Amino acid sequence: MPNAATLDEVLAPLLADPARAAVLLDIDGTLAPIVRHADDAHVPEPTRAPLIKIAKAYGLVACISGRQAATARRIVSLGSITYVGNHGAEILRGGQTTPEIAPEIAEWARRVRAFGEGELRGEELHRLRVRGEDKDVIFGFHWRGAPDEEAAEEAARGVAARAEDAGFVTHWGRKILEVRPPVDLNKGLGIKTLLEDAAGGLDVALYAGDDRTDVDAFDALRAAVASGVLKSCVCIGVSSGDETPVELSDAADILVDGPLGVRGVLETLAG
C-alpha cells in the first residue's frame, strides 16, 4: 500500500466536498476477500463500518459487480446504496427490491442459461470440478480450488470456443470464464448510467477494483472528466499479488494492497 501522504493526496478531492463526490466500488477481491467458493463471499464488518458512514455522507455510493445485483447486495449487506450487477446489465437502486434490466439484455437470459447448464452436464467439467454460476444473463465457470487448476482452465477454453461458435461473447477473469450475450456489457456502461442519473450533482468520483473488468470502469470515469461531467476522478487498483492483471496495474492511478488496503481507503474517506 502507498504511504499515507500519497494516499491522502489522491483522496483530497473527495474529502474536500463529500456531498459532491462519488465512491464506486467493486466487491469480490476489493471489498470482500476472494474465496474458493463464490457463495461464501462476504464483506467483513470492519470494512462495512466505514462504508456505512460513507453512504450517509457522500453524494453517491454504489457497488459495481460482475455478480447479480441482488447477490451483490447480500454480500455487502447494505440496502441503502445502489448496486450495478452483471457488469452493467442491471441496476438495483437503494431501497428498491427489483433491479432494472435493459430489455435487449434480458431476452438473452434463457439462451445463456441453457448453454451453461448444458456444458455443466458434460463429464469433463464434472470430473475436473469446474463449478457453474448462473447469473441470469451471464453464466460463469469457476475453477479456483479445483484439484488440477491448469487442466480445469484448459477445459474452460473448450467451453469458450463452443460458446463463441454459438454466438455468445466470452470474458476471462481471475480463474473464471464468463459466457455473455453479444451486446455491449461492461462496468463502464453501468457507471455512465449512474453519472447521468446524478445530473451534474457530482464533481469527483473514485472507483476501486481488482480485475480486468475494472479497467472499463476506470475508462468511464476518465471519459466523464474529459467530457466535463466530472472535474476529476481517482482510479484505484487493488493488488492481488501474482494474480494482479497487468492491465489493471498500468491503468490505475494508485495501487493498494488487497481488501485490507481498500479498508484503509474507506477509513480515510469516512474520517
Q: Which residues contact 4 (CB under 8 A, 6 or more apart)?
A: none
d(CA 231, CA 248): 23
> 239 pairs with which residues across the strands?
257
Catalytic option among 26, 136, 211, 214 = 26
As beta bridge partners, residue 44 has none
Distance between CA 74 and CA 42 in Å, rounded?
Answer: 8
Alpha helices in the chain (DSSP H): 4-16, 45-57, 69-76, 103-106, 109-120, 123-128, 149-165, 187-198, 213-226, 246-251, 258-270
The residue to which cell 447479480 is assigned: 68
In the annotation, is 26 catalytic?
yes
| Residue position matching grid coordinates 441482488 | 70
Please give the positions annotated as active site: 26
